[in-house]
Amino acid sequence: VDRDRALGFAEGLLSLPTAPFMEDLPLDHVVSFADDRPRLSRHQDGAGNVVVRYDGEGADTTRPLVLVAHLDHPGFAVDEVVDDTATLTFHGGLGVAHALPGSPLHFFRRGHVDPIGEGVLTAADGTDGRLTGGTARITVGGADAAGFAMWGFAGYGVDDGRIVGRVCDDLLGAAAVLATLDEVARQAPPGVAVWGLFTRAEEVGFLGALAAIRLGVVPVGASILSLECSKALPDAPQGGGVIVRVGDRMSIFEPGLTEALRRAAEGAGVGDQRAVPYQRKLMDGGSCEATAFHASGYRASGLALPLGNYHNAADEGPESGIAPEHVLVDDYLAEIALLTHLACDRSLLEPDTSAPPPWLTERTAAAMELLVEPAGHVEDW
């Protein structure tokens, strides 16, 4: 994986502001990405989700590998602006204890990359401990009553081997999909169909993914992979590699597809390094779009990047307020290497299961030899 290229895809997306229902700029970015590459096609569904397709020569397009990432991030809708006071509704999951008065905000107009104003949170509202909205004082510029607000951090930076920004979840997942599609389009392997599905409004209950399912955007024979940034856990730390996900807080994923991911990780290394760094884990700090597809009858699993300051909640605790999210560059590169390897080799995705795995045959033979009396003593029963 070319590090500079991979980081270029991250910078391109993370620099764009977004919030649930306000994903215009990252959606436009994905559309331009597809339009710049003749081997890719794209389609926007009735809900505004974008599908980018690579259909290799002779590929079965009823059974694509579909890489799903969402383009929103928890943030505020601006409801009303009176003089220097903005009233806000928060969309997404964040503990209200983290929303300390004085926390910095940037105000955005839809379709504009740069903020039109800055301010600070003056009061936060919550229900059951979750942030639902609040009020803010505008200190610089203005706010647009049809616009949105994000925590006042830079969109993208690299610091000490980490990608740091106001949004990693899930623009960085989307960047990994772009990097993979870019590589697949260059290599142009025959016989594989690899699609990216870029969804809206995941943070308010997978709404974009559920609409895409209802609209029939993805064929029932597809293999679905959710690419997420997921709260790092003591047992699933940053720096441990990309996470091959066995499930999330709501469901356990399709074991065969999770196994395909493990095998892809094992074979995706370069040079002496046969495997890319990976960890096989249940990430139950949140739920992801694989659960939406799985519950709807699809073959679904996922990968996750271990995330610091999940949903901008400072890892040090509520008294530390809000903070930029971050992901280790090496974990991100491992994810792209795994995905590219998987995407270019159809046999990894649907392994031949007609024969038992070699270890099973060997150990069963050992069991019979060591534990069962000499031949002839095994009786039918």
- Of 15-23, 44-52, 163-171, 174-182, the window that binds Zn ion (rule: CB under 5 A) is 163-171
Contact (Cβ atoms closer than 8 angstroms) between residue 129 and residue 106 = no
Q: Which of residues 237-256 bind Zn ion (CB under 5 A)?
A: none
Residue 62 sits at φ, ψ, to 5 deg, of -90, -5
The dihedral formed by the CA atoms of 74, 75, 76 and 77, expressed in degrees to the nearest 10: -80
- Of 121-129, 165-173, 178-186, 287-295, the window that binds Zn ion (rule: CB under 5 A) is 165-173
Closest to Zn ion by CB, 226 or 258: 226
Closest to Zn ion by CB, 20 or 134: 20
- Of 17-25, 162-170, 211-219, 365-373, the window that binds Zn ion (rule: CB under 5 A) is 162-170
Q: Which of residues 37-76 bind Zn ion (CB under 5 A)?
A: none
Least distance from Zn ion to the Cβ atom of residue 349, Å? 26
Q: Measured between alpha carbons, how far is 214 from 211 in angstroms, rounded to an integer?
A: 5
Least distance from Zn ion to the Cβ atom of residue 171, Å? 11
Q: Measured between alpha carbons, how far is 56 from 194 in angstroms, rounded to an integer?
A: 8
Alpha helices (runs of H) in 36-67, residue ranges in sequence order: none
Alpha helices (runs of H) in 121-250, residue ranges in sequence order: 171-187, 207-214
Q: Measured between alpha carbons, how far is 178 from 162 in angstroms, rounded to an integer?
A: 19
The one among 169, 182, 183, 330 contacting Zn ion by CB under 5 A: 169
Pull the structure tokens for residue 129.
Answer: 């401990």
Least distance from Zn ion to the Cβ atom of residue 250, Å? 14
Contact flag: residue 289 with Zn ion (CB under 5 A): no
Closest to Zn ion by CB, 23 or 169: 169
Closest to Zn ion by CB, 118 or 169: 169
Q: Which of residues 314-333 bind Zn ion (CB under 5 A)?
A: none
Least distance from Zn ion to the Cβ atom of residue 203, Å? 5
Q: Measured between alpha carbons, how far is 304 from 167 in angstroms, rounded to an integer?
A: 15
Least distance from Zn ion to the Cβ atom of residue 307, Å? 9
Closest to Zn ion by CB, 169 or 335: 169
Give the number of residues in contact with Zn ion, rule: CB under 5 A: 1
Q: Please report, as a single letter, which amino acid is at residue 303.
A: L
Least distance from Zn ion to the Cβ atom of residue 201, Å? 11
* SS3 state at 190: coil
Closest to Zn ion by CB, 169 or 330: 169
Least distance from Zn ion to the Cβ atom of residue 136, Å? 22
Closest to Zn ion by CB, 193 or 242: 242
Pull the structure tokens for residue 196.
Answer: 């990216």
DSSP state of 373: P
3-state helix, strand, coil in the chain (%, to 5): 30, 30, 40
- Of 168-176, 212-220, 251-259, 319-327, the window that binds Zn ion (rule: CB under 5 A) is 168-176
Q: Which residue has the tokens 């090496």?
A: 330
Least distance from Zn ion to the Cβ atom of residue 92, Å? 7
Q: Measured between alpha carbons, how far is 85 from 107 in angstroms, rounded to an integer?
A: 12
| Those residues with Cβ within 8 angstroms of residue 377's Cβ, 6 or more apart along the chain or in another chain | none
Closest to Zn ion by CB, 116 or 314: 314
- What is the contact surface with Zn ion in residues (CB under 5 A)? 169
